[in-house]
Structure 1
Amino acid sequence: MEKRRVVVTGIGAVTPLGKDVDTTWNNIINGVSGVKPLTRVNADEYPAKVAAEIRDFNPEDFMEKKEARKMDRFTQFAVAASIMAVKDSKLEITDKNAERVGVWVGSGIGGMETFEQQYETFLKRGYRRVSPFFVPMLIPDMAAGQVSITLGAKGFNSCTVTACATGTNSIGDAFKVIQRGEADVMVSGGAEAPITRMSVAGFCANTALSTNTDPQTASRPFDKNRDGFVMGEGAGIIVLEELEHALARGAKIYAEIIGYAATGDAYHITAPAPAGEGGSRAMKAALHDGGLTPDEVDYINAHGTSTDYNDKYETMAIKEVFGEHAYKLAVSSTKSMTGHLLGAAGGIEAIFSVLAIDEGIIPPTINYETPDPECDLDYVPNKARKQDIDIVMSNSLGFGGHNATIVFKKYQD
């Protein structure tokens, strides 16, 4: 059976750099950091002092107050970003097409804020005072559920939970749903709101977070002096659409998605496999899925978390996959500006990937000051680069040994 072609026709985001795509992207290409002093929890209680928070988000800009009160913050982000993505795509979901429009939105952690608040209520006041919406607010799949309800999308509906690979897995899996003919449109990506007391405590306890107190330099992927990631929050959602369906309604096409693969390290619960071998297999398989040779890739939006092993091993994996071409392609980590949005990272990075193609500009890796001899590729240091781009690869790697790679291509008839 011939594979159906799938294109990106809508994008929506809520990020530490802006409550919409335009603001976020403008800040990305101008090298603006979204990292600020940690305020959502008491920073005095933790070694990590900075985070990439979303300030002044008002869910009532997107939904009724009574509905917002039934959603954890991560779900509110997902609904807001999905509404913006569908509006951007100019797609009308009606009774006639609703069953062919699906949703695949994941979250790595889900409703941690709700869990912590309701557990406190339970301890102080007993089970009768726990909200009847506690479970629906907590579970990670409720982002997909609420997006489906809000949009009226009645097709394929699912949620991926693969830690920091969640957003990329979600988009890749949604791509395959359309490719094999089970939907014409999929609204897909990731959402996360992890800046809570227990989440910050957990990541501090396993020494994953940066303890750099300077917000402007704490997130510094591939730099020799990197010391951990900076936690972020938000959502990135894209509208994937079967090509003929998109052309028939005159939709704007940002890019075509042509390749996807996912692998497992089978190695360690938090550390990547030596030399990033699981990530290299994902990249190779995604290239094969897209019918590409390594030398056709122009830019990689790296996972690039600003942790020691991740950045080193991802660099090694890229060199394993691309050989000499690894030194010719551009590699950058937008986490240097957004922080690490965990399960939402792949969603917003997919948006940055398609905009890089659509606008011909490669986002920089900011805070790159001291080269690391073990990280010796072209990381587009500190300043965006104008360049015609045909093919972009986006990587996401997660706790549990999850590796996911998607590949986008400039759309051509």
Structure 2
Amino acid sequence: MPTRPVAVTGIGVLSPGGIGADATWRALCRGLSTATVDEAFAKIDGLRVRISCRVPHFDAPTHLGSRQTARRLDRFAAFAVLAAREAIADAGLDPMSWDAPRVGVVMGVGSSSVDSWSPEFARLAAGAARTISPHAIPRSVPSSAVSEVALDLGAQGTTFGVSTACASGATAVALSRRLLLADDCDIVVCGGAEGFGPITAACFDQLRALSRRNWDPSAASRPFDVDRDGFVLGEGAGVLVLERPEDARARGGRVRGLVAGAGTTCDARHPVAPHPSGDGIARAIEAEDFKSSETVVRL
């Protein structure tokens, strides 16, 4: 497969900084923390973590434009659909006129909707199995994000979800580039989406991975500080539209950036911790597919 970049022609984001790429960018430029006390966490006895980073002012029925769709989708999938809509609009593409079988969707999701199972487990434990939601499985699986984006956009090309923990979104972008270079698709909508809830927080806290700086949320996320005590849970979605540069130019599309290459490796060392030597990271950087700087300069 040739080693060359692909173009980023559209961006869509929902983040704790705001709904939309512009709102997120403005929040980043202000340099203000988005961590606050989480009301859902505060209601649970014994949960030591009380802070998180939520997407502000999010209302699924309003933003999706359909109460029925909002009822069917879990929070992370709703984020993915909305970010994809923004990315497509930003790219200047029209799903009503594109060649749908040549449009792919690849979405990365790490843990999907673990917390959405809580009410279903409660119904089962209470002997009310017949009241369990028929949407429980399709709503909760990681592939819900990619399937809902494809349904919403009418994309009929290569479509699949990936789950590589914290690297899920980056893996989706890397694989999407390969789909374009292999000529399997002409357009790929790709990215990552994630949600969380009290069970997610409790599990990560048991791993001692989350900050418990509940008294000072804005200073809790401090990964390079000697007094760091963990990360802060966040939610949202980021979606890119990728095309081959020549295709983007031919249709008059705007190239926002380039995905020059990607290297993927595994150090096969530990379920949640990288090898202390950094061997896996080093091999990813040294991967031949990542060395595309000369091509980028020529573009």
TM-score by length of 2: 0.93
Deviation at 1:49, TM superposition (A): 2.2
User: 1:218-367 maps to which residues of 2 (within 5 A)?
Assistant: 218-285=220-287, 288-292=288-292
2:191 alignment counterpart = 189
1:124 alignment counterpart = 126
2:11 alignment counterpart = 11
Gaps of 5+ in 1: 297-408
CA distance in 2, matches of 1:246, 1:216: 41
1:275-333 C-alpha deviation (Å, 9 max, x unpaired) = 22212221222xx324257xx9xxxxxxxxxxxxxxxxxxxxxxxxxxxxxxxxxxxxx
- Name the CA shift for 1:86/1:227 in 2 (closer, same or farther; >3 Å): same
1:7-55 C-alpha deviation (Å, 9 max, x unpaired) = 0000001100101110111111221111111223236532222111123
Gaps of 5+ in 2: none
Q: Secondary structure at the match of 1:189?
A: strand
Deviation at 1:3, TM superposition (A): 5.1
The amino acid of 2:174's aligned partner reads G
Which consecutive aligned stretches of 4+ in structure 1 deviate over 4 angstroms post-superposition? 1-5, 409-412
- Name the CA shift for 1:49/1:43 in 2 (closer, same or farther; >3 Å): farther
- Name the CA shift for 1:8/1:204 in 2 (closer, same or farther; >3 Å): same
Q: CA RMSD in A?
A: 1.9
User: 1:9-408 maps to which residues of 2 (within 5 A)?
Assistant: 9-41=9-41, 42=43, 44-59=45-60, 60-94=62-96, 97-194=99-196, 196-213=197-214, 214-285=216-287, 288-292=288-292
Give the percent of matched residue pairs that are identical in Structure 1 and Structure 2. Answer: 35
Return 85-94 or 35-44, whichever deviates more.
35-44
Q: Is the 8 A contact 2:109 2:168 kept in 1?
A: yes
Q: Is the 8 A contact 2:7 2:242 kept in 1?
A: yes
The amino acid of 2:7's aligned partner reads V
- Name the CA shift for 1:96/1:237 in 2 (closer, same or farther; >3 Å): closer
Deviation at 1:62, TM superposition (A): 2.4
CA distance in 2, matches of 1:284, 1:2: 17
Q: Secondary structure at the match of 2:120?
A: helix
Larger relative contact order, structure 1 or 2 (CA cutoff 8 Å, min sep 6): 2
CA distance in 2, matches of 1:209, 1:138: 23
TM-score by length of 1: 0.68
1:152-208 C-alpha deviation (Å, 9 max, x unpaired) = 0100101001110101001111111111110011100111111x1211111011101
The amino acid of 1:51's aligned partner reads S
1:192-241 C-alpha deviation (Å, 9 max, x unpaired) = 111x1211111011101011121111001212211111110110111111
Alignment: residue pair count? 296
- Name the CA shift for 1:48/1:94 in 2 (closer, same or farther; >3 Å): same
Q: Is the 8 A contact 1:16 1:34 kept in 2?
A: yes
1:359 alignment counterpart = none
Q: Is the 8 A contact 1:17 1:23 kept in 2?
A: yes
Deviation at 1:412, TM superposition (A): 6.1
